[in-house]
């Protein structure tokens, strides 16, 4: 009996020393610091700042800041999956989106998300794509009001605010569509599959239910270039199919040359695709437009350095002060030569 007590005291003393306090390490946060960073909004609207915004104002902001990626009606899928669609007035009544049961339908954000706070929080913290946290509080309310109107959750003349957002929650189409009845939140949760460790003659035969279609063999590039050229195995040569080649070829078979490396390192590819319009025009489209023009180098150099808008729509391209003159010259010469990649 005695020994454990003695040992216990010793352990307590050690713990005390270890936890004494971390003198000189860290400091208390000021209220202003906490306010600057604590921007999250919970489903019970803890953290939601007061403010308001109308559907009408939201539409204007949407076209200016959001539509290039998400489409005028939140339905585009050329950059991100669609935000709006596949919910019904009946879903707004039941609070569970019927198209999620059926399958086949595109799962839009508004069909999946259960809480309106989530949309407010994410627009506020992460949007727009190339300028996160640049929206004012009222702009966030307005953009969200426009989205909710597109989904027919609020009427055309609605003004969304911290006062009425809880009522909107009661009309979210998938507010009852979430379950936490599963064993994957706690470490000792109950699994939902129950395989057994059979060792011999566990079934009569092994039937292949699915195999890789021939057209997909080369979809991920030449596999002979994705394995070692010695050792117990080799990669199977898989020529890429002509149609699906560009993306795979760009990433798989070439070490990016200097221009493409500069574009990737400076975030240019976040808005410009090689051959595809994203937020801004594709590099190949820029090359095509200015092909053969005498002043291409000076014009494009200025555009990259100072930013601008108008040539390709109203979304402004931000200035790029971080690029060196040599880098800009490399990019422009590459564009002038046809933006080959």
Partner 1 sequence: MTSKKIRPGRLLKAPESFLDPQFIAEVKQHGFDETRRAFLRKSFLAASAALTAAPLGEALAAPAQGDPDILNLPPWTTTLGKPVASRPYGSPAKYEMNLVRRESPGLASVSQASVAFTPLQGMFGIITASGLHYERHHQGWEEIDPSRHRLMINGLVKRPRVYTMDDLMRLPSVSRIHFLECGANSAMEWGNVAVPTVQYTHGMLSGSEFTGVLLSTLLEDAGFDRKRGQYLLAEGADGSSMTRTLPMERVLDDCLVAYGMNGEMLRPENGYPLRLVAPGIQGVSWVKWLRRLEVGDKPWNAKDETSQYADLMPDGMQRQYATIQEAKSVITSPSGGQKLIDKGFYNVTGLAWTGRGKVKRVDVSFDGGINWHAARLEQPVLPKALTRFNIDWVWNGAPAILQSRVIDDTGFVQPTYTQLREVRGTRSVYHNNAIQSWKVAESGEVSNVQV
Interface positions, 179-238, toward partner 1 (CB under 8 A)? 179-189, 191-212, 216-217, 219-221, 223, 225-236, 238
Which window, 37-45, 55-63, 160-168, 331-339, contacts partner 1 (CB under 8 A)?
37-45
What is d(CA 173, CA 138) in angstroms, rounded to the nearest whole number?
A: 24
Rg (CA), the chain: 28
Rounded to a whole number of angstroms, the minimum distance from the CB of residue 2 to partner 1 is: 31
| Per-residue binding letters, 132-151, with partner 1 (x by CB under 8 A) | xx------------------
> Under rule CB under 8 A, which residues in 277-296 are in contact with partner 1?
278
241 to each of 6, 66, 78, 108, 247, how far by Cα in Å? Answer: 75, 34, 22, 31, 11
CB burial of 196-234 (b: ≥16 within 10 Å; e: otherwise) equals: eeeeeeeeeeeeeeeeeeeeeebbebbeeeeeeeeeeee
CB of 84 to partner 1, least distance (A): 12
20 forms part of the interface with partner 1 (CB under 8 A): no
Q: What is the dihedral of CA 223, 226, 229, 233, to 10 degrees?
A: -70
Measured from the CB atom, the residue of 161 and 266 that comes closer to partner 1 is 266
For residues 2 and 228, which CB has a smaller minimum distance to partner 1 in the complex?
Answer: 228
Distance CA 146, CA 154 (A): 9
Nearer to partner 1, 5 or 32 (CB): 32
Pick the closer one to partner 1 by CB: 227 or 309. Answer: 227
- Piece of the chain touching partner 1 by CB under 8 A; list 4-12, 28-36, 57-65, 140-148: 28-36
């Amino acid at each position: 009996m005695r020994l454990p007590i003695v040992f216990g005291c010793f352990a307590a003393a050690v713990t005390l020393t270890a936890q004494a306090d971390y003198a000189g390490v860290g400091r208390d946060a000021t209220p202003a610091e906490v306010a600057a960073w604590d921007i999250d909004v919970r489903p019970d609207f803890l953290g939601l700042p007061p403010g308001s915004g109308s559907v009408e104002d939201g539409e204007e902001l949407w076209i200016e800041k959001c539509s290039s990626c998400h489409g005028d009606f939140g339905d585009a899928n050329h950059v991100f999956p669609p935000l709006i669609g596949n919910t019904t007035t009946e879903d707004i009544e039941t609070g569970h989106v019927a198209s999620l049961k059926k399958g086949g339908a595109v799962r839009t954000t508004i069909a999946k998300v259960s809480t309106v706070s989530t949309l407010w929080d994410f627009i506020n913290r992460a949007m727009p794509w190339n300028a996160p946290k640049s929206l004012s509080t009222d702009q966030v309310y307005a953009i969200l009001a426009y989205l909710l109107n597109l989904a027919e959750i609020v009427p055309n003349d609605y003004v969304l605010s911290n006062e009425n957002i809880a009522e909107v929650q009661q009309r979210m189409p998938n507010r009852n569509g979430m379950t936490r009845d599963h064993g994957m939140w706690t470490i000792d949760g109950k699994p939902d599959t129950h395989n057994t460790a059979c060792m011999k003659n566990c079934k009569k035969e092994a039937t292949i239910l699915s195999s890789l279609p021939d057209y997909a063999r080369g979809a991920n590039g030449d596999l002979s270039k994705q394995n070692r050229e010695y050792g117990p195995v080799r990669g199977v040569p898989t020529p890429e199919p002509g149609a699906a080649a560009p993306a795979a070829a760009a990433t798989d078979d070439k070490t990016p040359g200097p221009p493409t490396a500069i574009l990737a390192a400076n975030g240019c590819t976040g808005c410009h695709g090689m051959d595809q319009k994203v937020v801004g025009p594709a590099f190949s489209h820029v090359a095509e437009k200015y092909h053969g023009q005498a002043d291409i180098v000076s014009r494009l150099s200025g555009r990259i350095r100072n930013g601008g808008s108008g040539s390709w729509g109203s979304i402004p391209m931000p200035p790029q002060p971080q690029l060196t003159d040599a880098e800009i010259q490399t990019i422009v010469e590459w564009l002038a030569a046809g933006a080959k990649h």
